[in-house]
Amino acid sequence: MLSLLETLAKIKERISKYELELRKSEALTRYVLVDPVLRTLGWDLECPNFVRPEFSTEAGTPDYALLVDGKPYVMVEVKPLRGNLVVAKDKGFNYCWKNKVPYYVITDGETWELYDMREMGGREIFSINISQDNLGNASRKLLALWRPAMPHVEIPPKQLVEPQPQKLGISLMKLFEQLKKRKRAINPPKRILFPDGEIETVNAWKDVLITIARHYSSYLSRRVPVKFMRAESILVNKSPSGMREPRQVDELWIETHFSAKGILRYSCYLLKLIGVPPDNVYVEL
């Protein structure tokens, strides 16, 4: 489950970073966004026993046929990022009906839709959006396509796939307490795991504070301005005015002129204001 969460977190970052290029190229969308998800779900893209790209049928050529017991079991149609999925859906339904393939997936790498073609009109099993949805819930739904579970195509019960943050490292609060006792600096965390299952990569200490603010920006935007503890200066606001080292987070600005200890202190402070216990946010060092 964590492996799939990590893959979706990377996909989300790539969509944001390479959006313009991905919207122009179906091939790049397949290579950068779709293939990593299929591999993580257990589909060996280099093995013809499991996957046949550009699968030829009388009704057309889907991008992938996922095979079970040597027969096409799931057809996959890919469009460029933000491409027209409605047109592709009609085309794909035609593939499946004429070839008696029971399941159909359409994706642009960001949106994934799975249909049961054994029912009249095609019954939607799930639809997710990697950029907008909770990645824990998105992972749970995508596990319906987990190859080792085939031929069963079912969304696992939520309680079976809830993320277990303790496996990632230590809590943010515990790291802060450890850092207060140390005289020497330590390297910043590599990743943050939030209670909702989303994982974010960080490269510097200030990224910890920025990532937390971004993750909860919709909530913080309703509370601005956010002041420092026991001070009148502004920590988070809709303007960078008066900040020494402001960084923009969506429509907000956040002060980042802190030491590593200060970053952790105000990260925990923001979480408490939001109502998220810092003990429930984990980091990997």
Based on the domain organization, do 121 and 178 belong to the same domain? no
User: Which amino acid, one-letter code, is at 173?
Assistant: M
Mean pLDDT of 158-162: 50
Range with lowest mean pLDDT among 75-79, 108-112, 168-172: 168-172
| Of 105, 135, 160, the domain-final residue | 160
Q: What pLDDT, on the 0 to 100 scale, is given for residue 62? A: 84
Q: In the predicted model, is pLDDT for residue 80 greater than 90?
A: yes
Answer whether residue 88 shows pLDDT above 80. Answer: no
Complete DSSP assignment for 237-252:
ESS-TT-SSEEEETTE
pLDDT band at 99 (very low <50, low <70, confident <90, very high): confident
pLDDT score at 158:
60
How many CB atoms neighbour CB 74 within 10 A?
27
166, pLDDT greater than 70 = no
In this prediction, residue 238 carries a pLDDT of: 92
74 and 148 co-located in one domain: yes
The closest alpha carbon to 171, from 264, 258, 256, 260, belongs to 264
pLDDT digits (tens, 9 = 90+) for 32-49: 999 999 999 999 999 999
Looking at the fold, whether 25 and 147 belong to one and the same domain comes out as yes
Q: Do 141 and 24 have their domain in common?
A: yes
Domain termination site, one of 160, 185, 216 = 160
Q: Is the pLDDT of residue 165 over 70?
A: no
16 and 82 inside one domain: yes
Beta bridge partners of 132: none
Q: Are residues 104 and 89 in the same domain?
A: yes
Q: What is the pLDDT of residue 46?
A: 92
Q: 213 and 236 share a domain? A: yes
b/e per residue 93-112 (b: at least 16 CB within 10 A)? bebbeebebbbbbbbbbbbb
- Three-state secondary structure call for residue 72: strand
In this prediction, what percent of the chain has a pLDDT beyond 70? 94
Query: d(Cα 26, Cα 54) in Å, to the nearest integer?
Result: 13
Please tell me whether residues 17 and 144 are part of one structural domain: yes
Q: Please give the residue that has the higher pLDDT: either 154 or 51.
A: 51
**What local confidence, expressed as pLDDT, does residue 164 receive?**
47
Instruction: Report the C-alpha gap between 162 and 119 in whole angstroms.
Output: 30
The gap from C-alpha 188 to its chain's centroid, in whole angstroms, comes to 22
What's the domain range around 154? 2-160
pLDDT digit string, tens, across residues 237-252: 999 998 999 999 988 9
Q: Report angle CA 19, 20, 22 to the nearest 5 degrees.
A: 65
- Lowest mean pLDDT of 62-76, 165-179, 262-276, name the range: 165-179
- The answer to whether residues 236 and 260 belong to one domain is yes
Number of domains in the chain: 2
What would the pLDDT profile of 116-153 be if each residue is shown by its tens digit?
Answer: 988 877 889 999 999 888 888 888 899 999 999 899 89
Contact 110, 84 (CB under 8 A): no
Same domain assignment for residues 25 and 97: yes
What is the pLDDT of the chain when averaged over all its residues? 87
Across 47-201, the runs of DSSP E, i.e. the strands, are: 51-53, 64-68, 71-78, 103-107, 111-116, 123-129, 170-171, 191-193, 199-201
Q: What is the predicted pLDDT for the residue at 269?
A: 92
In this structure, the number of other CB atoms found within 10 A of the CB of residue 208 comes to 24
CA distance 100 to 105: 15
Instruction: Let me know: does 199 contact 5? Beta carbons within 8 Å.
Output: yes
What is the CATH number for 104? 3.90.1570.30
pLDDT on residue 73: 94
pLDDT score of 230: 67
CA distance 90 to 120: 13
- Percent of all residues in the chain with a pLDDT value above 90, rounded to a whole number: 52
Query: Is residue 83 domain-shared with residue 213, that is, in the same domain?
Result: no
Question: What angle do helix axes 135-142 and 2-17 make, rounded to 10 degrees?
Answer: 120
What was the pLDDT predicted at 163? Answer: 47
Q: Range with the lowest mean pLDDT among 34-43, 150-159, 196-205?
A: 150-159
Same domain, 16 and 142: yes
Of 96, 126, 160, the position where a domain reaches its end is 160
